[in-house]
Homo-oligomer: A and B are copies of this chain.
């Protein structure tokens, strides 16, 4: 048992004295990216280790009003795409000496409660993915000078900044690939019906099919709830035991649902891909590249999108102001693999 937490606290003055430097040098030594020589920094860290000193970032945040903390609110951690996003944010923010608060919320509920709690921690910014937020809460953040960025979605009427890919355009690209492969009957496995991401992809896909003269009655919509298991079950329910004839082409509105559709079609319904049924996804997650899937899909440029988000956060941090309603739209592209027949 150890119970020494009431010992007198070592301060940056003690470290400065032992290392023979100024107190501001100690502060710089603990701030990533600040100007200090490697030699001096090492000497200060050695003194800090000897004294068991650690900087008090919270007290410092009360003075500077910068906590160097970004909150990331995730609505659907079951979709590996958002794990890639989380990983990219953690790595890039850590590189620049910032911390990440991670919250998860039910994708169908509002993130307002989580944000109210986040605000209690004086974060420098909030990134929200696959969850809802009210315009009232958005205003509350912006009024306090805290940038809030919707990642891979937008909310009509909201003042929050948005970084997303061209979901409508991506949906159109996939529809075109199916049309060129002479598909006539289609299914769409849809995600969260409240989310603009799924809505936009479905819209782009459907628009392009209609433009090509496909009848709306030849396009079946299935609810996949943005996750593998539900997509797999929904496809089985729609087509098992001859409930309906198999479509020529299935659009999984994200890769993890497309993977659920592939497993249902191939392993449970015994049909061949792409000979009997073609399948296309959206996101380009590494799981979809593996041998059992080799999924033809639309790539979202995650790195570009994360970098654009960080730019918005940096402007807010440097200029002490929030640019409301910034909107970055990243391009998408089709990645050919083996689940759609390629025109020869």
Contact = CB atoms under 8 A, between A and B. Distances in A.
Interface string A43-76: 0000001001011111111100001010000000
B58 A121 contact: yes
26 contacts: A1-B322, A2-B142, A4-B142, A5-B143, A5-B322, A49-B136, A54-B120, A56-B122, A58-B58, A58-B61, A58-B121, A59-B62, A62-B62, A77-B83, A77-B86, A77-B90, A86-B102, A90-B102, A94-B103, A94-B114, A99-B117, A100-B103, A101-B102, A259-B290, A266-B291, A292-B292
Interface of A: 1-7, 30, 49, 52, 54-62, 67, 69, 77, 80, 83, 86-87, 90-91, 94, 99-104, 114, 116-122, 136, 140, 142-146, 159, 228, 259, 263, 266-268, 286-287, 290-293, 320-324
A3 B145 contact: yes
Contacts of A54: 116, 119-120, 140, 144
Copies of this chain, complex-wide, total 2
Contacts of A52: 140, 143
Contacts of A94: 103-104, 114
Contacts of A2: 142-143, 145, 159, 321-322, 324
